[in-house]
Amino acid sequence: MSKYSILVINGPNLNLLGTREPGIYGAGTLQDLTANLDKVAAECGVSLEHFQSNHEGQIVDKIQSALHRHDFLLINAGAYTHTSVAIRDAISGVSIPFYEIHISNVHSREPFRHHSYLSDKAVGVIVGFGLKGYEYALRAAVDYLHKQNH
């Protein structure tokens, strides 16, 4: 059994990856992303759970259920990043360290995407590296956990 468990959360519309807007979000599907992360997790010796939902309350429930089950969260909250005090409060409530991920460079897009309700609570933020950003975040999370728990 792996020593560390990491939960990957993808928010609204990210189930559409690879089917539309490839210019912004790339050509890979959510399934491709999941398969690549599983491969990297196996290489690093950690367990991964994947969760995607289009519903804010379901994301809140999932974060609450992560308490005592997961050591780290990787979250792309999609559009809820810019609107959701509830997701911010859920993450603060469980006190699990997390990285915030965005596929696109939100800072080069519309002004309403420049503010995040999560960034100031995150250990780090990865923005604009496409789907590769999830892999970078996973590898960084593994380093973080090893350093924290030497």
Interacting residues toward ligand CA2 by CB under 6 A? 13-14, 16-17, 20-21, 25, 76, 78-79, 81, 102-104, 106, 113
Closest-CA residue to 50 (of 83, 15, 81, 85): 15
Of 70 and 102, nearer to ligand CA2 (C-beta) is 102
Phi, psi of 37 (to 5 degrees): -65, -35
Q: Which of 4, 25, 99, 117 is an active site residue?
A: 25
4 among known catalytic residues: no
Answer yes or no: are the C-beta atoms of 104 and 96 closer than 8 Å. Answer: no
Of 97 and 130, nearer to ligand CA2 (C-beta) is 130
Q: Which of 80, 99, 102, 134 is an active site residue?
A: 102
25 among known catalytic residues: yes
Residue 54 three-state SS: coil
CB of 102 to ligand CA2, least distance (A): 4
Of 62 and 102, nearer to ligand CA2 (C-beta) is 102
Token pair 């603060």 is found at 92
Of 16 and 42, nearer to ligand CA2 (C-beta) is 16
CB of 107 to ligand CA2, least distance (A): 10
CB of 88 to ligand CA2, least distance (A): 15
| Gap between the Cα atoms of 43 and 82, Å rounded | 33
CB of 110 to ligand CA2, least distance (A): 8
Tokens read off for 122: 């995150």
Sequence-ordered list of residues with C-beta below 8 angstroms from that of 117, at least 6 positions apart, any chain: 81, 82, 83, 84, 85, 87, 88
- Would you please indicate which residues are annotated as catalytic (active-site) residues? 25, 102
